[in-house]
Amino acid sequence: MISMGVMGLNRVFMMMSKANASAARIAAVVYAEDELTPLPEAEAAVTEREGYIVFEHVGFHYGRDSAGAEHFPGQADGRFDGQGRQKSLDDIDFSMKKGGTLGIIGATGCGKTTIINLLMRFYDADEGAVFIDGKDVRTYDKDALHRMFGVVFQNDVIFADSLKENIAFGRDVSPEQMDAAAADARARDFIREYEDTYEHKAVVRGANLSGGQRQRVLIARALAAAPDILILDDSSSALDYKTDAALRKAIREHHADTTTIIVAQRISSIMSLDDIIVLEEGRIIGHGTHEELMENCPMYQEIHRVQMGA
Ligand SMILES: Nc1ncnc2c1ncn2[C@@H]1O[C@H](COP(=O)(O)OP(=O)(O)OP(=O)(O)O)[C@@H](O)[C@H]1O
Ligand SMILES: [Mg+2]
Protein backbone atom coordinates (compact mmCIF):
# COMPACT_ATOMS: atom_id res chain seq x y z
CA MET A 1 0.00 0.00 0.00
CA ILE A 2 2.84 2.35 0.88
CA SER A 3 4.68 1.70 -2.38
CA MET A 4 1.49 2.44 -4.36
CA GLY A 5 1.21 5.76 -2.57
CA VAL A 6 4.82 6.66 -3.28
CA MET A 7 4.41 5.76 -6.95
CA GLY A 8 1.29 7.92 -7.15
CA LEU A 9 3.11 10.85 -5.63
CA ASN A 10 5.97 10.30 -8.06
CA ARG A 11 3.52 10.54 -10.99
CA VAL A 12 2.17 13.81 -9.68
CA PHE A 13 5.66 15.29 -9.58
CA MET A 14 6.35 14.08 -13.13
CA MET A 15 3.13 15.65 -14.39
CA MET A 16 3.97 18.88 -12.64
CA SER A 17 7.39 19.23 -14.19
CA LYS A 18 5.98 18.40 -17.65
CA ALA A 19 3.20 20.94 -17.23
CA ASN A 20 5.68 23.52 -16.07
CA ALA A 21 7.88 23.07 -19.13
CA SER A 22 4.86 23.19 -21.49
CA ALA A 23 3.45 26.31 -19.82
CA ALA A 24 6.79 28.06 -20.19
CA ARG A 25 6.85 27.29 -23.92
CA ILE A 26 3.27 28.46 -24.44
CA ALA A 27 4.00 31.67 -22.54
CA ALA A 28 7.10 32.26 -24.66
CA VAL A 29 4.92 32.23 -27.80
CA VAL A 30 2.08 34.28 -26.34
CA TYR A 31 4.33 36.98 -24.95
CA ALA A 32 6.82 37.02 -27.82
CA GLU A 33 7.85 40.57 -28.72
CA ASP A 34 6.90 41.69 -32.17
CA GLU A 35 10.13 41.92 -34.16
CA LEU A 36 8.81 44.47 -36.60
CA THR A 37 7.90 47.56 -34.62
CA PRO A 38 6.71 50.75 -36.34
CA LEU A 39 9.53 52.87 -37.67
CA PRO A 40 9.65 56.59 -36.74
CA GLU A 41 8.60 58.80 -39.69
CA ALA A 42 12.03 60.42 -39.72
CA GLU A 43 13.77 57.13 -40.51
CA ALA A 44 11.21 55.99 -43.08
CA ALA A 45 11.65 56.15 -46.81
CA VAL A 46 9.76 58.74 -48.82
CA THR A 47 8.52 58.48 -52.35
CA GLU A 48 7.82 60.99 -55.06
CA ARG A 49 5.75 58.51 -56.95
CA GLU A 50 2.01 58.77 -57.39
CA GLY A 51 -0.04 55.77 -56.44
CA TYR A 52 -1.91 54.14 -53.61
CA ILE A 53 0.34 51.12 -53.47
CA VAL A 54 3.93 51.64 -54.58
CA PHE A 55 6.77 49.12 -54.67
CA GLU A 56 10.02 50.97 -55.26
CA HIS A 57 12.91 48.77 -56.43
CA VAL A 58 12.19 46.15 -53.80
CA GLY A 59 14.63 43.32 -53.23
CA PHE A 60 14.13 40.64 -50.62
CA HIS A 61 15.35 37.26 -49.51
CA TYR A 62 14.12 35.08 -46.69
CA GLY A 63 16.31 34.27 -43.72
CA ARG A 64 17.22 37.57 -42.15
CA ASP A 65 16.27 38.52 -38.62
CA SER A 66 15.05 41.94 -37.54
CA ALA A 67 18.57 43.17 -36.83
CA GLY A 68 19.51 42.38 -40.42
CA ALA A 69 21.70 39.40 -39.53
CA GLU A 70 21.29 36.24 -41.53
CA HIS A 71 20.41 33.13 -39.64
CA PHE A 72 19.40 29.76 -40.94
CA PRO A 73 18.31 27.33 -38.27
CA GLY A 74 18.57 23.64 -39.00
CA GLN A 75 22.13 23.23 -40.18
CA ALA A 76 25.32 22.87 -38.19
CA ASP A 77 26.84 26.06 -39.52
CA GLY A 78 23.42 27.66 -39.49
CA ARG A 79 23.05 27.96 -43.24
CA PHE A 80 21.34 26.04 -46.02
CA ASP A 81 23.40 25.59 -49.13
CA GLY A 82 23.07 28.53 -51.44
CA GLN A 83 19.94 29.84 -49.80
CA GLY A 84 21.65 32.82 -48.24
CA ARG A 85 22.40 34.36 -51.59
CA GLN A 86 19.25 33.59 -53.51
CA LYS A 87 16.86 36.48 -53.70
CA SER A 88 13.15 35.76 -53.58
CA LEU A 89 12.40 39.19 -55.05
CA ASP A 90 14.68 41.34 -57.16
CA ASP A 91 14.01 44.93 -58.23
CA ILE A 92 10.23 44.74 -57.97
CA ASP A 93 8.93 48.09 -59.07
CA PHE A 94 5.30 48.99 -59.73
CA SER A 95 2.51 51.23 -58.56
CA MET A 96 -1.25 50.99 -58.36
CA LYS A 97 -3.83 53.69 -58.09
CA LYS A 98 -6.63 53.63 -55.53
CA GLY A 99 -9.40 51.35 -56.68
CA GLY A 100 -7.12 49.80 -59.28
CA THR A 101 -6.84 46.10 -59.97
CA LEU A 102 -3.62 44.18 -60.41
CA GLY A 103 -3.06 40.58 -61.43
CA ILE A 104 0.11 38.68 -60.60
CA ILE A 105 0.92 35.54 -62.55
CA GLY A 106 3.94 33.27 -62.71
CA ALA A 107 5.24 29.78 -62.04
CA THR A 108 5.21 28.27 -58.54
CA GLY A 109 7.90 29.65 -56.30
CA CYS A 110 8.47 32.79 -58.37
CA GLY A 111 7.66 35.15 -55.48
CA LYS A 112 3.98 36.03 -55.82
CA THR A 113 3.11 35.37 -52.18
CA THR A 114 6.33 37.08 -51.11
CA ILE A 115 5.07 40.34 -52.68
CA ILE A 116 1.93 40.05 -50.52
CA ASN A 117 4.05 39.29 -47.44
CA LEU A 118 6.03 42.49 -47.94
CA LEU A 119 2.93 44.57 -48.66
CA MET A 120 1.37 43.44 -45.38
CA ARG A 121 4.72 43.80 -43.65
CA PHE A 122 5.12 40.24 -42.44
CA TYR A 123 8.71 40.85 -43.51
CA ASP A 124 10.70 44.01 -44.26
CA ALA A 125 12.26 44.53 -47.66
CA ASP A 126 16.07 44.28 -47.82
CA GLU A 127 16.28 46.86 -50.59
CA GLY A 128 13.87 49.56 -51.67
CA ALA A 129 10.61 50.30 -49.91
CA VAL A 130 6.90 49.63 -50.02
CA PHE A 131 4.36 52.45 -49.71
CA ILE A 132 0.65 52.49 -49.05
CA ASP A 133 -1.17 55.78 -49.48
CA GLY A 134 2.11 57.65 -49.71
CA LYS A 135 3.47 56.29 -46.43
CA ASP A 136 6.21 53.73 -45.93
CA VAL A 137 4.50 50.53 -44.67
CA ARG A 138 7.07 50.34 -41.88
CA THR A 139 5.60 53.46 -40.26
CA TYR A 140 2.10 52.03 -39.88
CA ASP A 141 0.89 50.61 -36.62
CA LYS A 142 0.65 46.88 -37.25
CA ASP A 143 -3.04 46.53 -36.35
CA ALA A 144 -4.03 49.64 -38.27
CA LEU A 145 -2.12 48.33 -41.29
CA HIS A 146 -3.69 44.89 -41.16
CA ARG A 147 -7.18 46.35 -40.74
CA MET A 148 -6.87 47.92 -44.19
CA PHE A 149 -6.69 44.50 -45.76
CA GLY A 150 -9.18 41.84 -46.68
CA VAL A 151 -7.11 38.82 -47.57
CA VAL A 152 -7.54 35.25 -48.61
CA PHE A 153 -4.19 33.55 -48.13
CA GLN A 154 -3.20 30.56 -50.15
CA ASN A 155 -3.39 28.27 -47.13
CA ASP A 156 -6.24 29.95 -45.26
CA VAL A 157 -8.48 27.77 -43.13
CA ILE A 158 -12.12 27.44 -42.20
CA PHE A 159 -12.61 26.94 -38.48
CA ALA A 160 -14.89 24.41 -36.81
CA ASP A 161 -17.69 26.91 -36.17
CA SER A 162 -20.80 28.29 -37.87
CA LEU A 163 -20.44 29.86 -41.32
CA LYS A 164 -21.57 33.10 -39.69
CA GLU A 165 -18.62 33.11 -37.30
CA ASN A 166 -16.29 32.06 -40.08
CA ILE A 167 -17.30 35.04 -42.19
CA ALA A 168 -17.55 37.63 -39.39
CA PHE A 169 -14.21 36.44 -37.99
CA GLY A 170 -14.57 38.28 -34.70
CA ARG A 171 -15.39 41.63 -36.32
CA ASP A 172 -18.56 43.67 -36.12
CA VAL A 173 -20.36 42.56 -39.25
CA SER A 174 -24.09 43.21 -39.57
CA PRO A 175 -26.31 40.47 -41.07
CA GLU A 176 -26.90 42.67 -44.14
CA GLN A 177 -23.17 43.20 -44.66
CA MET A 178 -22.60 39.50 -44.29
CA ASP A 179 -25.28 38.62 -46.79
CA ALA A 180 -23.92 41.16 -49.28
CA ALA A 181 -20.38 39.83 -48.85
CA ALA A 182 -21.59 36.26 -49.30
CA ALA A 183 -23.50 37.28 -52.43
CA ASP A 184 -20.43 38.97 -53.93
CA ALA A 185 -18.30 35.96 -53.09
CA ARG A 186 -20.92 33.77 -54.83
CA ALA A 187 -21.41 31.92 -51.54
CA ARG A 188 -24.96 33.03 -50.78
CA ASP A 189 -26.71 30.52 -53.02
CA PHE A 190 -25.14 27.44 -51.52
CA ILE A 191 -25.38 28.81 -47.96
CA ARG A 192 -29.12 29.45 -48.43
CA GLU A 193 -29.60 25.86 -49.46
CA TYR A 194 -28.72 24.75 -45.95
CA GLU A 195 -31.73 24.61 -43.65
CA ASP A 196 -29.86 26.57 -40.96
CA THR A 197 -28.20 28.92 -43.55
CA TYR A 198 -25.51 31.00 -41.81
CA GLU A 199 -25.76 28.94 -38.63
CA HIS A 200 -24.56 25.89 -40.55
CA LYS A 201 -21.58 24.34 -38.81
CA ALA A 202 -18.35 23.77 -40.65
CA VAL A 203 -16.14 21.00 -39.27
CA VAL A 204 -12.41 21.28 -38.65
CA ARG A 205 -10.72 22.83 -41.72
CA GLY A 206 -14.10 22.95 -43.46
CA ALA A 207 -13.90 19.30 -44.47
CA ASN A 208 -17.68 19.17 -44.94
CA LEU A 209 -17.50 21.82 -47.67
CA SER A 210 -16.23 21.38 -51.20
CA GLY A 211 -12.97 23.08 -52.19
CA GLY A 212 -14.84 25.75 -54.13
CA GLN A 213 -17.32 26.33 -51.30
CA ARG A 214 -14.44 26.76 -48.86
CA GLN A 215 -12.82 29.33 -51.13
CA ARG A 216 -16.10 31.22 -51.45
CA VAL A 217 -16.59 31.37 -47.67
CA LEU A 218 -13.03 32.66 -47.32
CA ILE A 219 -13.64 35.31 -49.98
CA ALA A 220 -16.83 36.34 -48.16
CA ARG A 221 -14.71 36.69 -45.01
CA ALA A 222 -12.26 38.95 -46.85
CA LEU A 223 -15.07 41.12 -48.29
CA ALA A 224 -17.22 41.29 -45.15
CA ALA A 225 -15.43 44.22 -43.50
CA ALA A 226 -15.33 46.27 -46.72
CA PRO A 227 -11.52 46.48 -46.84
CA ASP A 228 -9.49 49.22 -48.53
CA ILE A 229 -7.27 46.61 -50.12
CA LEU A 230 -8.47 43.19 -51.21
CA ILE A 231 -5.96 40.42 -51.80
CA LEU A 232 -6.83 37.06 -53.25
CA ASP A 233 -3.80 34.77 -53.27
CA ASP A 234 -4.65 31.85 -55.52
CA SER A 235 -8.09 31.79 -53.95
CA SER A 236 -10.35 31.27 -56.90
CA SER A 237 -8.45 28.29 -58.28
CA ALA A 238 -11.16 25.83 -57.27
CA LEU A 239 -13.99 27.87 -58.78
CA ASP A 240 -15.37 27.00 -62.18
CA TYR A 241 -14.78 29.61 -64.87
CA LYS A 242 -18.32 30.97 -64.73
CA THR A 243 -18.31 31.48 -60.94
CA ASP A 244 -14.81 32.97 -61.14
CA ALA A 245 -15.98 35.49 -63.73
CA ALA A 246 -19.11 36.32 -61.71
CA LEU A 247 -16.93 36.90 -58.64
CA ARG A 248 -14.73 39.37 -60.51
CA LYS A 249 -17.79 41.16 -61.89
CA ALA A 250 -19.22 41.51 -58.36
CA ILE A 251 -15.94 42.88 -57.03
CA ARG A 252 -15.76 45.36 -59.90
CA GLU A 253 -19.34 46.52 -59.43
CA HIS A 254 -19.74 46.55 -55.65
CA HIS A 255 -16.19 47.19 -54.49
CA ALA A 256 -15.05 49.73 -57.05
CA ASP A 257 -13.10 51.72 -54.43
CA THR A 258 -11.31 48.64 -53.20
CA THR A 259 -7.79 48.29 -54.49
CA THR A 260 -7.55 44.68 -55.57
CA ILE A 261 -4.61 42.34 -56.10
CA ILE A 262 -5.35 38.92 -57.52
CA VAL A 263 -2.66 36.25 -57.60
CA ALA A 264 -3.59 33.47 -59.99
CA GLN A 265 -2.28 30.65 -62.08
CA ARG A 266 -5.09 30.98 -64.62
CA ILE A 267 -4.89 33.72 -67.21
CA SER A 268 -8.68 33.86 -67.31
CA SER A 269 -8.73 35.00 -63.67
CA ILE A 270 -6.63 38.09 -64.33
CA MET A 271 -6.93 39.00 -68.01
CA SER A 272 -9.68 41.57 -67.42
CA LEU A 273 -7.74 43.48 -64.72
CA ASP A 274 -6.26 46.98 -65.25
CA ASP A 275 -2.71 45.79 -64.95
CA ILE A 276 -0.88 42.46 -64.94
CA ILE A 277 2.59 41.56 -63.70
CA VAL A 278 4.36 38.47 -64.97
CA LEU A 279 6.96 37.18 -62.52
CA GLU A 280 9.84 34.83 -63.12
CA GLU A 281 12.24 33.85 -60.35
CA GLY A 282 11.53 36.98 -58.37
CA ARG A 283 11.80 39.41 -61.27
CA ILE A 284 9.16 41.23 -63.25
CA ILE A 285 9.47 40.06 -66.84
CA GLY A 286 6.25 41.56 -68.13
CA HIS A 287 3.97 44.38 -67.04
CA GLY A 288 0.91 45.78 -68.74
CA THR A 289 -2.62 44.99 -69.81
CA HIS A 290 -3.56 41.63 -71.27
CA GLU A 291 -3.39 43.05 -74.79
CA GLU A 292 0.03 44.61 -74.23
CA LEU A 293 1.45 41.44 -72.72
CA MET A 294 0.05 39.37 -75.59
CA GLU A 295 2.16 41.55 -77.88
CA ASN A 296 5.41 41.87 -76.01
CA CYS A 297 5.80 39.19 -73.33
CA PRO A 298 6.81 35.78 -74.69
CA MET A 299 6.29 34.10 -71.32
CA TYR A 300 2.72 35.43 -71.12
CA GLN A 301 2.03 34.32 -74.68
CA GLU A 302 3.31 30.88 -73.76
CA ILE A 303 1.04 30.62 -70.68
CA HIS A 304 -1.85 31.85 -72.81
CA ARG A 305 -1.13 29.28 -75.50
CA VAL A 306 -0.95 26.41 -73.01
CA GLN A 307 -4.05 27.42 -71.06
CA MET A 308 -6.33 28.69 -73.77
CA GLY A 309 -5.15 26.27 -76.43
CA ALA A 310 -4.90 29.14 -78.86
N1 LIG B 1 8.99 31.45 -45.21
C2 LIG B 1 9.91 31.21 -46.11
N3 LIG B 1 11.19 30.96 -45.74
C4 LIG B 1 12.14 30.73 -46.67
N5 LIG B 1 11.95 30.73 -47.98
C6 LIG B 1 10.69 30.95 -48.43
C7 LIG B 1 9.62 31.20 -47.51
N8 LIG B 1 8.49 31.41 -48.24
C9 LIG B 1 8.84 31.27 -49.54
N10 LIG B 1 10.16 31.01 -49.65
C11 LIG B 1 10.91 30.88 -50.93
O12 LIG B 1 10.74 32.08 -51.66
C13 LIG B 1 10.49 31.84 -53.02
C14 LIG B 1 9.19 32.50 -53.44
O15 LIG B 1 8.10 31.91 -52.75
P16 LIG B 1 6.60 32.39 -52.87
O17 LIG B 1 5.85 31.76 -51.77
O18 LIG B 1 6.57 33.86 -52.96
O19 LIG B 1 6.17 31.75 -54.26
P20 LIG B 1 4.79 31.84 -55.03
O21 LIG B 1 5.05 32.56 -56.31
O22 LIG B 1 3.73 32.36 -54.14
O23 LIG B 1 4.51 30.32 -55.40
P24 LIG B 1 3.11 29.51 -55.46
O25 LIG B 1 2.50 29.79 -56.78
O26 LIG B 1 3.55 28.09 -55.37
O27 LIG B 1 2.31 29.95 -54.30
C28 LIG B 1 10.50 30.33 -53.18
O29 LIG B 1 11.75 29.96 -53.72
C30 LIG B 1 10.34 29.78 -51.79
O31 LIG B 1 11.06 28.59 -51.64
MG1 LIG C 1 2.06 31.60 -53.27
Q: Domain residue spans in the chain? A: 41-99+113-140, 157-225
Say if ligand 1 is within 6 A of residue 235 CB.
Answer: no
Q: Compute the distance between CA of residue 233 and CA of residue 221 in angstroms, rounded to an integer.
A: 14
Assess whether pLDDT exceeds 90 at residue 69. Answer: no
Largest CA distance in the chain: 88
Assess whether pLDDT exceeds 50 at residue 78. Answer: no
* pLDDT for residue 58: 93
Q: Are residues 289 and 274 in contact, defined by beta-carbon separation less than 8 angstroms?
A: yes
Domain 41-99+113-140 has CATH 3.90.1150.10: no
Say if ligand 1 is within 6 A of residue 286 CB.
Answer: no
Say if ligand 1 is within 6 A of residue 111 CB.
Answer: yes
* pLDDT for residue 225: 85
Average pLDDT over residues 20-34: 93
- For the packed helices 175-184 and 211-224, what is the interaxial angle rounded to 10 degrees? 130
The protein residue whose alpha carbon is closest to atom 17 in ligand 1 is: 113
Ligand 1: which of 110, 124, 284 to mutate, most ligand atoms within 8 Å of CB?
110
User: Model's pTM, two decimal places?
Assistant: 0.83
Q: Which residues line ion ligand 2, judged by CB < 5 Å?
A: 112-113, 154
- 99 HSE (CA, 13 A, CB side): 6
| 186-189: long-range contacts, CB 8 A cutoff, minimum separation 24 | 186/216, 186/219, 186/239, 186/243, 186/246, 186/247, 186/250, 187/213, 187/216, 187/217, 187/219, 187/220
3-class SS of residue 26: helix
The protein residue whose alpha carbon is closest to atom 26 in ligand 1 is: 108
The one-letter code for the residue type at 277 is I
Assess whether pLDDT exceeds 50 at residue 106. Answer: yes
Sequential DSSP letters for 116-153 = HHHHTTSS--SEEEEEETTEEGGGS-HHHHHHTEEEE-
Q: What distance in angstroms lies between residue 207's CA and the mean position of ligand 1's atoms?
A: 26
157-225 matches 41-99+113-140 in CATH topology: yes
The one-letter code for the residue type at 74 is G
> Which is the CATH superfamily of the domain at 157-225?
P-loop containing nucleotide triphosphate hydrolases (3.40.50.300)
Q: Compute the distance between CA of residue 215 and CA of residue 158 in angstroms, rounded to an integer.
A: 9
Q: Please say whether the dihedral angle defined by the alpha carbons of residues 177, 178, 180 and 181, taken in this order, is positive or negative.
A: positive
